[in-house]
Every structure is written in C-alpha cells, then in structure tokens.
C-alpha cells in the first residue's frame, strides 16, 4: 500500500489561507468517505482535526475545513494563526477490510 501524496511543505502569513492536498487513488481517497486529517506539533502525538472528509470534531476551530475532489482530499486552514504551525497528515481507509489504512507523507505548515 503506497503512502498518499502530500506536498512536503506549505507556508503562509498570519491571517492568510493555506490548502494542503492529499492524493490517493479511487480505491482509497476517491472511493471511501473515511478520509481524516491529523495535526502534529513537535514532540507531541497527532490530533484528529478532520474526520469523514469534511467533519470537524468537537473543539476543533472552524478555520480548519476539509474537502475532496476526485482522488484528492484537501485541508484548508483559513485565517492562519501562529499556533497552526505544525505537521499535518492525511489518512484514508485503504479500500478493503483487510487492507487497513494508509497515511499521507505529511506536510509541514510554516507561519511566516
């Protein structure tokens, strides 16, 4: 199972919007409604910020949003804040019961 493809890094100034892509295949990202995104600050465990492609768990700021087009999922951070500087990982169910899950390669967001 190959990792989903994410850009290595993106950056933006405070208040700007940034979008991270996560490209898979029709078997995973494009074919399942189980795409999630995780935020990871240095030295910390990942935290769920988007589930089921577009849903935000309780407590996650509404500046984080998820979407999908074809085999690519997107995480958009609107109104970038300094505390949003972190690594972001996408994840998808891999398509069949026995194939489990596949993560993206990870994207570092830098707030300029």
91 is a site residue for another protein (CB under 8 A): yes
38 is a site residue for another protein (CB under 8 A): yes
Helix (H, G, I), strand (E, B) or coil at 68: strand
Indicate the burial class of 88 (C-beta count within 10 angstroms; 0-12, 13-18, 19 or more): buried
Which string of x and - marks every residue 59-88 that binds another protein (by CB under 8 A)?
------------------------------
The residue from 10, 31, 34, 54 that contacts another protein (CB under 8 A) is 34
Q: What gap in Å lies between CA 18 and CA 23, rounded to an integer? A: 17
Binding residues for another protein (CB under 8 A): 1, 3, 34, 36, 38, 45-48, 51-52, 57, 89, 91, 93, 97-106
């Amino acid at each position: 199972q190959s990792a989903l493809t994410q850009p290595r890094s993106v950056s933006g100034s405070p208040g700007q919007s940034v979008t991270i892509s996560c490209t898979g295949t029709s078997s995973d990202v494009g074919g399942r409604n189980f795409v999630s995104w995780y935020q990871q600050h240095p030295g910390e465990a990942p935290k769920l910020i988007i589930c089921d492609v577009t849903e935000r768990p309780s407590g996650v700021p509404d500046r984080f949003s998820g979407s999908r087009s074809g085999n690519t999922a997107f995480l958009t951070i609107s109104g970038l804040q300094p505390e949003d500087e972190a690594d972001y990982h996408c994840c998808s169910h891999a398509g069949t019961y026995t194939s489990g899950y596949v993560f993206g390669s990870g994207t570092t967001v830098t707030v300029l």
